[in-house]
A and B are shown apart, each in its own frame.
Chain A
Amino acid sequence: MSSEKNLNLKLNVWRQKNAQSEGGFETYEAPGISTEMSFLEMLDVVNEDLITKGADPIAFDHDCREGICGACSMVIDGRPHGPKERTTACQLHMRSFNDGDTIAIEPWRAAAFPVQRDLIVDRAAFDRIIAAGGFISAPTGSAQDANSLPVSKQNADLAMDAAACIGCGACVAACPNASAMLFVSAKVSQLALLPQGQPERYIRVRDMVAQMDAEEFGTCTNHGECEAACPKGISVENIARMNRDYLKASLTYRPEATGGGAG
């Protein structure tokens, strides 16, 4: 059965009032933390205490608290989402820590993810990358019967592996270059692996990479930290697949004719 214990912890947390202000680290005591708590529940307890003392609670993004929405985003002791692999901060439990630990908590650090308050960052850059091409143009009502396009099980499974991305940004946070290649390649791969994604395959990769660069993410130097930090275990094989498609897209690009069509 469970062996609940209580921990006394110290937190070293990044506090920043808003995007314009300068931030800094503050230290907080977190006494009597149950090992049954999730990391975010531990922060809830600290926040309740802060509020009753009249202080501002630590702002952090969170929503589903079951590891799928991708909202929670904090670097815990130097690792996005903390020490447990394939786990989001909301599913990280305090039994992963020891009594007396000092825990460092920082926001995602990237130019493309500006801090909005404390641990909350703006990840709209990801949305803009999807808007640039991370879709299949299939307006409602235009679809043919779902079984008219068979997809090999292997490709369907690989597409699903890539599609498991929750868009949390841990890949960017973990990358020594703050690169978004794993995020972008996961979507490029998913759609490139499916027959429905073929018509836009090459324009998609070009447009998404262009947007990624415009958002001022760093570049991929193949460290592999993204894969290690990804709570869904998205593979860097997707990055290779995207590179391949990008090269092909660039080699075979032909400018669109500017002349008028048949009137």
Chain B
Amino acid sequence: MELKSNIPEGPLEKKWEKYRNDMKLVNPANKRKYKIIVVGSGLAGASAAASMAELGYEVDCFCYQDSPRRAHSIAAQGGINAAKNYHNDGDSVFRLFYDTVKGGDFRAREANVHRLAEVSVNIIDQCVAQGVPFAREYGGLLDNRSFGGAQVSRTFYARGQTGQQLLLGAYQALERQIGLGKVKMHSRHDMQELILVDGVAKGIVTRDMVTGAIESHLAHAVCLATGGYAPVFYLSTNAMGCNTTAIWRAYKKGAAFANPCFTQIHPTCIPITGDHQSKLTLMSESLRNDGRIWVPKKPGDKRPPNDIPEDERDYYLERKYPSFGNLAPRDIASRAAKEACDNGLGVGETGLGVYLDFADSIKRLGMHAIEEKYGNLFEMYERITDENPYKTPMRIYPAAHYTMGGLWVDYNLMSTIPGLFVMGEANFSDHGANRLGASALMQGLADGYFVAPYTVGNYLAGVKPSEHPTTAHAAVQAAEATVKARIEKLLAIKGKRTPTHFHRELGKIMWEHCGMARNEESLKKALELIPKLREEFWSDLLIPGAGDELNQSLEHAARVGDFFELAELMCLDALERRESCGGHFREESQTPDGEAQRDDANFCHVAAWEYQGEGKTPVRHIEPLVFENVHLATRSYK
């Protein structure tokens, strides 16, 4: 397998322009003769489907939710970055590019990230034109805030619901195209298989989640915008339905999977209360602007937090990282919390939590100011925990949140399978080993609005409209048969344990052995445990009901089956990457004072895995990363 990144020649800041000048175009009269499949209707999927339909292509869009408006992009709270420099504080495209590359611990492609920074400004224009109600100042102009420790104010936001508002903007653009007949929407459809004809992506097989019907859909190009795979940990901040199935089936059909071990653990989530827990709720990172994180100095200190005197508290982030303090980046803050809890200093009944204390800020700024800033977050916290954060400190703990890894794509966002494009969180491209706050929304929309519509067109210009198989084609029939066989196999097990049971057990293994900190021993242990549990899954699974009806257990089981396979690949990737970088912390690779130690000499590359078949170890390919415009510095937040 050859990993050709297809980055245009020329200086960094001219590459995207050059690409657009050189790319091939499809004749406007011919566009309607091309059909494009878009799987997923989040920021990347909805924006891509709408934009490509506006250009004149016929688009089929799929989502598993009952409406495209519910994709999990909707849950993003904080904001979206853009290098507008409206605040005259020295921001620029280069600065946003540099911050993103550095934040990703130098494990992303320069050219892709620079393009992302370039189009970030167009995104804001586009969203405002759609009626996204961004926060404004009294003069009527857009407000910005600084976010995730950035030194400039470049984050645009709509209260604590930025993701929702951006998604609704894209959704409305999509609905407009649906109304015009240019997009055919298939909601409650689960992608089950990718159809390849002569090695080229030509369609997908879906399951209608209401009737259970297995259907084939064919097109000239297939775009996956199906999000990340954080629910491999069972508990995560993702939605219950988020899954890896689409990209996993593509992987098994030959698309390389890049950096699967790069996962982001978000430091500020509400802790787990018990085995019944089904998901973890994120509390916006912005809370760390005014909250102080601490644990008791004495292990097992069970006193109520307000009874613990000042000198018996350890404000560990402030102690260890005096210059960034409580605003240290996500990966660092998460790891520090884990370390404190591992040392027996954790708080709450489970001992898996640290305090986020607003007492000082309330004293300094007044109750009212804190209420103004965080009122809705405090209310949400109280609703879930029944504790009043104005009076007792919040308890928080890290949770799986985002996956930087994903299908490998070139500069065109095309995977190693011709005709298969991957956008948003589903690809690996822009965040390296760690994603900065407010950058996920930026990437999803950049890919969907401003990159894919060009690059997919460039690909289609080389495809004849007639190059379109029929459903009678042997490859289509074979793909459908595979899907049906797999569903029958799952239903036929008729064992004793539920899909949720297996998912939860898998999550425990992953969190324990491939979570915030990893080492060779634990990863090898996981690689023993996962196949064993997977065997049990395939022999003792119990799914009630049938395949030809609305069957939520079946949907879940099919997804868990894929998570099992992905989990192994993640551990394998984590094992092979013998360095610490970004969200990937290998305990063997740290500085004497416990900080992550990158190994640029041996690991300054993308690891892309190629599937070899059932039961065979996949092959690890390497795409070296070349940095011509930035200096590979050590990330230091001390």
Q: Residues on A close to B: CB < 8 A?
A: 1-4, 17-18, 34, 36-38, 40-42, 44-45, 48, 50-52, 54-57, 59, 61-71, 84, 87, 91, 93, 95, 116-117, 120, 122-124, 126-127, 130-132, 134-147, 149-153, 156, 159-160, 163-164, 166-167, 190-191, 194, 196-197
CB distance from B205 to the nearest CB of A (A): 22
CB distance from B296 to the nearest CB of A (A): 14
Rounded to whole angstroms, the CA-CA distance of A137 and B126 in the bound complex is 11
Rounded to whole angstroms, the CA-CA distance of A101 and B498 in the bound complex is 28
From A59, A141, A153, contact of B140 by CB (8 A): A153
Contact assessment for A1 and B387 in the assembled complex, using a CB-CB cutoff below 8 Å: yes
| Chain A residues, CB < 8 A from B589 | none
Contact assessment for B172 and A135 in the assembled complex, using a CB-CB cutoff below 8 Å: yes
Contact assessment for A51 and B136 in the assembled complex, using a CB-CB cutoff below 8 Å: no
Number of residue pairs A-B, CB distance < 8 angstroms: 233
Rounded to whole angstroms, the CA-CA distance of A140 and B454 in the bound complex is 12
CB nearest neighbor in B for A95: B386
Rounded to whole angstroms, the CA-CA distance of A156 and B138 in the bound complex is 10
Among listed B93-101, B278-286, B523-531, B574-582, interface-contacting one: B278-286
| Chain A residues, CB < 8 A from B387 | 1-2
Also in contact, A63 and B240, with CB within 8 A (given A48-B500, A143-B125): yes
Contact assessment for B129 and A147 in the assembled complex, using a CB-CB cutoff below 8 Å: no
Consensus secondary structure, chain A interface: loop
| Chain B residues, CB < 8 A from A159 | 131, 133
From B65, B142, B171, B552, contact of A59 by CB (8 A): B552
From B137, B187, B380, B500, contact of A44 by CB (8 A): B500
From B122, B168, B383, contact of A163 by CB (8 A): B168
Contact assessment for B278 and A40 in the assembled complex, using a CB-CB cutoff below 8 Å: yes
New A-B contacts (20) at CB < 8 Å, excluding given A2-B273, A194-B131:
A18-B549, A48-B501, A51-B498, A55-B544, A63-B240, A68-B161, A117-B549, A117-B550, A127-B69, A127-B175, A134-B172, A138-B129, A139-B54, A146-B124, A146-B129, A150-B140, A153-B140, A156-B135, A166-B164, A197-B131
| Chain B residues, CB < 8 A from A152 | 136, 140
Contact assessment for A41 and B133 in the assembled complex, using a CB-CB cutoff below 8 Å: no
Rounded to whole angstroms, the CA-CA distance of A166 and B239 in the bound complex is 15
Contact assessment for A17 and B549 in the assembled complex, using a CB-CB cutoff below 8 Å: yes
Q: Mark B349-362, 1 if CB is under 8 A from A, else 0.
A: 10000000000000
Contact assessment for B542 and A52 in the assembled complex, using a CB-CB cutoff below 8 Å: yes
Also in contact, A160 and B187, with CB within 8 A (given A57-B544, A64-B74): no
Q: Mark B156-167, 1 if CB is under 8 A from A, else 0.
A: 001101001100
Which parts of B232-291 form the interface with A (CB within 8 Å)? 237, 239-241, 273-274, 276-279, 281-282
Rounded to whole angstroms, the CA-CA distance of A115 and B173 in the bound complex is 28
Also in contact, A135 and B175, with CB within 8 A (given A69-B239, A153-B137): yes
Also in contact, A18 and B550, with CB within 8 A (given A37-B276, A48-B500): yes
Subset of 12 A-B contacts with CB under 8 Å: A2-B349, A2-B387, A3-B386, A40-B278, A44-B278, A51-B498, A68-B74, A68-B164, A127-B68, A135-B131, A141-B126, A150-B141
* B62 at interface, CB cutoff 8 A: no
CB nearest neighbor in B for A45: B276
Which parts of B596-610 form the interface with A (CB within 8 Å)? none
Also in contact, A131 and B179, with CB within 8 A (given A56-B544, A66-B279, A153-B136): yes
Which parts of B65-100 form the interface with A (CB within 8 Å)? 65-70, 72, 74-75, 84, 86
| Chain B residues, CB < 8 A from A136 | 129-131, 172
From A117, A134, A149, contact of B128 by CB (8 A): A149
Rounded to whole angstroms, the CA-CA distance of A138 and B68 in the bound complex is 19
